[in-house]
Amino acid sequence: MFRLNPNYRFSRAAAATIFNNEAHYPLFIVPKVANTYFCFSSTSFADARKLFDEMSDLDVVSSTSIIGTFSKQHLHKEAIYLFTRMLFNNIRPTEFTFGTVIHSSTLLKYLNIGKQLHGCTIKSGLNSNVFVGSASLDLYSKLSTIEEARKVFEDTHQPNVVSYTTLISGYIKNKRFEDALRLFEEMPERNVVTWNAMISGFSQTGYNEEAVNIFIEMLRERVMPNESTFSCVIIAAANIGAIGKGRSLHGYVFKCLGDKLNVFIGNALISFYAKCGNMEDSLLVFDKLRGRNVVSWNALVCGYAQNGRGIEAIELFERMIVSGLKPNDVTILGMLWACSHAGLVTEGYSYFNKVRHKEPNLLKPEHYGCMVDMLARSGRFKEAEEFIQRLPFEPGIGFWKALLGGCQIHSNVKLGEFAARKIMALDPEDVSSYIMLSNAYAAAGRWEIASTVRKEIKEKQMKRIPGCSWIEIRNKVHVFLNKDCKHCQIDDIYRVLKICIQHSLDCEALSILMEFSI
């Protein structure tokens, strides 16, 4: 009756008839009635709670089913409340009841309540149950220490794939990669979800090459990737600019799925080609993608921005407006970024002012910071200073860094010193401000002061983030850090580099001799 009549008023009336009838109603109807209320209005929680409170003879199955319904509807506080009512009515919870409310505690970030519930499972002897164990493991790995999560894992009788995957994700989140790999190898059974957790986890923590290698190992073990796998590994390849591996992945996706890309894989490919500087292929994927969403447009707009193609970014943005899709804050940030890097100050100002008057809620501190960067890059320092003074909030360190970056480009030492002092006041350990100020002095020809600033960095033992570059040769990515001597072919590399430098110097000397001979 409830399934055939999806009407809130009808269902409510039917429920009243059932529960007011003197005849005993079957308990299996109770969770169906509660679920029906949710189908039509979020305000009907009061009705469902009233139903729960008024049923004097609810059993554990019906109670657990109602609590599960609340949890599925993302009403986690209410699910926990009903659990307390269940205990008040002397209904003994099962492993499924505990698993559900522990899961709700995790999503609400209620660690203390979650711990109390876990303690109840220990007292009742249910803590070794795999359903309870998986929920408790998720709680501790996300909200507490990985050591506590490991103890829960060890207490679980016959942990399943979910238990293993949860603990592996916890290890990766805490950057304990060796532990994650060891547990991964110990798993008696690995499914695609576990492989995805490894690939995604390594990629999100900056170990992108390892993520790609894990995917290759996954194929060797003949595990069929799903759409989530492809999205994760393509993003990893994009982060290291592995154009060869990325193209191979694109070909493999086409082989598995044909040209019917889902939007998540399509968006990942758009970002991949854009990060590798190949905007033509990025646009090709975008044009062929069905069901494009705002993320698809943002990926292409930001791609044009990071490749300094501001005009194309503006044209694409206008095309997006015509399509009827509403831009979000990321779209606007991409647009301002594009205008900044292409020197399109007038256009950037125009878009910023339009958004400020029509959709002010879209503007975040990042957008204001991008405007300061755009003005400073173009040498319009007076406007940049005035813009900072008129900010509707206190400027953070990013604003002064943007201003200092412009001073470095245009050798504006006086304003650069002012911006650097602001940065140092906010974060005395920020080494980048010293480096940018030193570069500004050097660009202005004030070498002694530039050298003094550099000496100060060494004296204060401030740690610099080393410069990084990479190159892909024969589908292998070679990563190099500044002053790196760890590469297996470092001696050969430096030998060839020395030859190149000498050749360059010889060519320069030859050109000077030819100039004098003329």
The model's pLDDT over 2-50, given as tens digits with 9 standing for 90+, comes to 444 445 455 555 544 544 554 454 545 555 555 555 544 444 566 666 6
Mean pLDDT score of the chain: 82
User: Rounded to whole angstroms, what are the CA distances from 150 to 134, 138, 155, 187, 248?
Assistant: 11, 11, 9, 15, 38
Q: Is the dihedral of CA 408, 414, 420, 422 positive or negative?
A: negative
pLDDT of 461 reads: 64
pLDDT of 513 reads: 44
Contact between residue 83 and residue 120 where contact means Cβ atoms under 8 Å apart:
no
Closest CA to 389 of 370, 414, 372, 406: 372
Helix ranges (H only) for 292-396 are: 294-306, 310-323, 329-342, 345-358, 365-377, 381-389
Tell which wins on pLDDT, 22 or 86. Answer: 86
pLDDT of 467 reads: 60
| Sequence-ordered list of residues with C-beta below 8 angstroms from that of 437, at least 6 positions apart, any chain | 404, 408, 416, 417, 420, 453
- 470 phi and psi, to 5 degrees? -150, 160
The model's pLDDT over 327-338, given as tens digits with 9 standing for 90+, comes to 999 999 999 999
Tell which wins on pLDDT, 289 or 8. Answer: 289
Least reliable range by pLDDT among 5-14, 128-137, 418-427: 5-14
- Mean pLDDT over 131-141 rounds to 90
The percent of residues above 90 in pLDDT, for the chain, comes to 37
pLDDT of 19 reads: 47
Asked if the model's pLDDT at residue 53 lies above 70, the reply is: no
For the chain, list the domains and their CATH numbers: 1-144 (no CATH), 364-467 (1.25.40)
Residue whose structure tokens are 């592996």: 168
Contact between residue 4 and residue 14 where contact means Cβ atoms under 8 Å apart:
no
Asked if the model's pLDDT at residue 1 lies above 70, the reply is: no
Tokens of 333: 């940030």
- Mean pLDDT over 329-353 rounds to 91
473 has which bridge partners? Answer: 476
**Percent composition of the chain: helix, strand, coil (DSSP 3-state, to 5):** 70, 0, 25
Asked if the model's pLDDT at residue 443 lies above 50, the reply is: yes
Report the C-alpha gap between 315 and 287 in whole angstroms.
14
Burial label for 146, CB within 10 Å (0-12, 13-18, 19+), is middle
Tell which wins on pLDDT, 2 or 499. Answer: 499
Burial label for 2, CB within 10 Å (0-12, 13-18, 19+), is middle
Where in 127-240 does DSSP place strands (E)? Answer: none
Q: Is the dihedral of CA 429, 435, 490, 249 positive or negative?
A: positive
